Chains A and B, each alone.
Chain A
Amino acid sequence: MLIWLVVAVLVLLGLWVIAAYNGLISLKNQALNGWKQIDVQLKRRHDLIPNLVETVKGVMKFEQTTLTQVIEARNKAISAQSIADKAAQENVLTGALRQLFALVENYPNLKSNENVSKLQEELVSTENRIGFARQFYNDIATKFNITQQTFPVNMIATMLGFKPADLFEVTDAAEKEAPKVDLNLK
């Protein structure tokens, strides 16, 4: 009798471990997919920047430092590897772009240029896409982390080799304060 009780408990325990493991795997893959989405949007931004710099550099030749900053930030962001490094470099790039667009405001003929406003809309949209992809990733990653850190799953999560996912954090203080204000053109 007792032996059957033990067997039953073990079987239930095994089933629970399987369910918990599968749940964690599913969340982990959703988080990975979310991360890929951010990557896609970051790449979109990297591809747009040379185009933008090319379009404005004729008129903005006195803003060479800002233009160089943007290009450098872009190149650094492309070569960044780890999630934390990537997040940091992308934030630098966001800052540099923001500065560039603030300067564009000083050049009325640039502002009225159709190509520039098109590019500007594309970049605004890209910034938003990155933001929304990041939001989606962070939501899923948080869910993944909560699941593996709450009792009783936390007892087996480490044993099964799960690690908390890094969140894509906004480190730039200015960005925290005023989200997408200067980029929001009607």
Chain B
Amino acid sequence: MNIYEQITGNNRATRIIVSVFILFFLFIGFGFDYYYGVGLRAPIFTVIALLFGLVSSYAGWRYGDKLILSSTHARELDLNDPKQKQWQNVVEEMSIASNMALPKTYIIDDPDPNAFATGRSPEISSIVVTRGLLEVLNRDEQQAVAAHEMSHIRNFDIRIMLMIAVLVGSIALISDWARRGLFRGERRSSRRDSGSGAAVLIILAIWLATVILAPLLSQIMAMFVSRRREYLADASGAELTRNPLALASALEKIDSRAEPTRSINQGSAHLCICDPKGRPIGVREGRLADLFATHPPINRRIEALKQMAYVA
């Protein structure tokens, strides 16, 4: 897989995800109309849900990166601080190496080393680091991290990840709301059509299952799509710096200090260079653990990088 295939694939996947998301809302709205909307003339819930889906997709596309930046309390760099100035330089160097527009740079005041990129296109993008990353890594390792994030930007990983972050968030919101409506709200017992009982039950069952399982499924989806691209970003990052070992040692350092990055919440976990939840990722193996991981095991990534440098 090369980066052009990755870009095409990402853009296709983004469209599919957004469509599925809007369809999902249609489905939920439809269910509400079927269940509660008796006596109403118009399919009011369907229309509301569709509007909600469209508006949140557009808002996510347009303002999602700002939302993520403010939810992680990211601030712009202070260039009078030598460490932050150095990081700014490192990012500028990588934008030269990749011949891409310079992303905006932000910092999070968190002692745990981590970094992520967000934005909707290479022209409108941001790279965020924690203070811990600047303290723990040396210049070469920081460069490797910047190159890794630059690759996410170039491959349009940031766009799909942004949409997933925003959409997962709003699915969780809406299905919370729907569940509350289902289990606490007053139910109208009079069915619109009592004739086709079995069919109605099946549809209802599917609908209930969707509403209840939605947050879980969307989470798994978010995790699944983000893992493969880490390897690619590692590889194309190493192509920019021509120094795969620097990224390997950066990952080792980040992993050895795997405490929770508190300022990065669940919704943006899949954006980060390393799993911010503080689980020792390198240790977990096996299918089930893999299914719930947002990132591939770090020792496999390090192994792959070392092979690039012919030392493994």
Contact = CB atoms under 8 A, between A and B. Distances in A.
B99 A34 contact: yes
B138 A186 contact: yes
A117 interface: yes
Interface stretch (B30-38, B67-75, B84-92): B84-92
Contacts of B86: 121, 125
A27 to B, nearest CB: 14
Q: Give chain A's interface secondary structure class.
A: helix
A111 interface: no
A128 interface: yes
A118 interface: yes
B140 A125 contact: no
Contact of B82 (A41, A121, A135, A136): A121
Interface residues of B, number: 18
A126 to B, nearest CB: 9
Contacts of A129: 92-93, 96
Contact of B99 (A117, A121, A128, A136): A136
A125 B143 CA distance: 11
B45 to A, nearest CB: 53
A132 interface: yes
A124 B96 CA distance: 15
A36 B140 CA distance: 25
Contact of B93 (A34, A125, A185, A186): A125
A128 B97 CA distance: 9
A112 interface: no
Contacts, number: 44
Contact of B96 (A37, A122, A184, A185): A37
Contacts of A186: 138-139
B57 to A, nearest CB: 35
Contact of A41 (B90, B94, B96, B139): B96
A54 B138 CA distance: 29
B242 interface: yes
Contacts of B96: 37, 41, 129, 132-133, 136
Interface in B207-240: 240
Closest 9 CB pairs of A and B: A132-B97, A125-B89, A128-B93, A132-B96, A186-B138, A133-B96, A129-B96, A129-B93, A136-B99
Interface of B: 82, 85-86, 89-90, 92-94, 96-99, 138-140, 143, 240, 242
27 contacts: A34-B99, A37-B99, A117-B82, A118-B85, A121-B82, A121-B85, A122-B89, A124-B89, A124-B139, A125-B86, A125-B89, A125-B90, A125-B92, A129-B92, A129-B93, A132-B93, A132-B94, A132-B96, A132-B97, A132-B240, A135-B97, A135-B242, A136-B96, A136-B98, A136-B99, A185-B139, A186-B138
